[in-house]
Amino acid sequence: MADLIELVEVSASYGRIEALSGVSLKVSEGKVVALLGANGAGKSTTLNVISGIVPATKGDIRFRGKSIRRLGSDKIVGAGISQVPEGREVFRDMSVHENLLIGAQLRNDRAGIERDIEIMAGHFPVLSKRFKQMAGTMSGGEQQMLLIARALMARPKLLMLDEPSLGLSPLLVQQIFDIIVKLHREEKLTLLIVEQNAAVALAVSDYAYILENGEIAVEGRSADLAHDDSVRNAYLGT
Ligand code: ATP
């Protein structure tokens, strides 16, 4: 399968702090890739560099073989890359329906947008009963589902999720990952998932990278990493 996204020796800094040093990774079309690592390892920065929110100081980012390193965030979303950022920022004073429409703001195919809202209602039944509810009044798990649905309204080719399980109960984590796997299968969505919950992430992904201090320390097939004792002890806290 062709590479959808490829990072080649990417570095990024916040002032004098180098958050990424020479990170190379790729996500092939139709695959699920996990990006793991401790707090501060550079996982969110990697996603933000792909989204154009944090500039790369070195290296290149290629989407379908073309450099997107110097494109603005809007152009990157338009090209087919959507991100669900960490921390669950829904538009609290807007309804679920309005939040979904915001996810489609770069589109102008009204009929397609309405059809996709119906599709989201099918994927996320909990949202379908709450289209008129203010997003800020929903539970943490419901807000996380809304964020994923909102990102999907842009019809991305690559969906990047930053810690979808953060702060959720094990049951909700399972529900969210079940939906993610279903989306992957049914919509042929390519996914890059940042997770602290390595066990869950390795169970659903094809391939994984482990970041350590801004560098890729380990990479491999998820099934292999999940069973590798040295990886488990050193990085996965098991
Ligand atoms: P976490 O799971 O805690 O979010 P992470 O692996 O996603 O961790 P990053 O958020 O990418 O890590 O952070 C990588 C490094 O960059 C850390 O040392 C962090 O303190 C630093 N950093 C991140 N964002 C900023 C910022 N806006 N300003 C300054 N330093 C930052």
Ligand 1 atom closest to Cα of 163? 2
Tokens at 36, concatenated:
């793991």
Helix (H, G, I), strand (E, B) or coil at 15: coil
Ligand 1 atom closest to Cα of 38? 6
Q: Per the confidence metrics, is the pTM higher than 0.90?
A: yes
- How confident is the model at residue 238, as a pLDDT? 55
Residue reference for tokens 């094990």: 170
Angle at 177 between CA 174 and CA 179, to 5 degrees: 110
Interval 161-197: pLDDT, tens: 999 988 888 888 898 899 999 989 888 899 999 998 8
| Distance from Cα 54 to the centre of ligand 1, integer Å | 11
* Mean pLDDT of all residues in 186-215: 93
What are the domain boundaries of the chain?
3-93+158-236
The answer, yes or no, to whether residue 115 has pLDDT greater than 60, is yes
Per the prediction, the chain carries an average pLDDT of 92
Binding-site residues, ligand 1, Cβ < 6 A: 14, 17, 19, 37, 39-45, 86
- How confident is the model at residue 237, as a pLDDT? 67
Question: For 3-93+158-236, which CATH class?
Answer: alpha beta
Of 235 and 171, more confident: 171
* Mean pLDDT of all residues in 65-74: 93
Pocket test for ligand 1, best of 45, 51, 194 (most atoms within 8 A of CB): 45
How far apart, in Å, are the Cα atoms of 167 and each of 13, 122, 163?
A: 28, 25, 9
Minimum CA distance residue for ligand 1 atom 29: 14
Q: Are 5 and 71 in contact (CB under 8 A)?
A: no
| Distance from Cα 160 to the centre of ligand 1, integer Å | 17
The answer, yes or no, to whether residue 25 has pLDDT greater than 90, is yes
Q: Are 217 and 211 in contact (CB under 8 A)?
A: yes
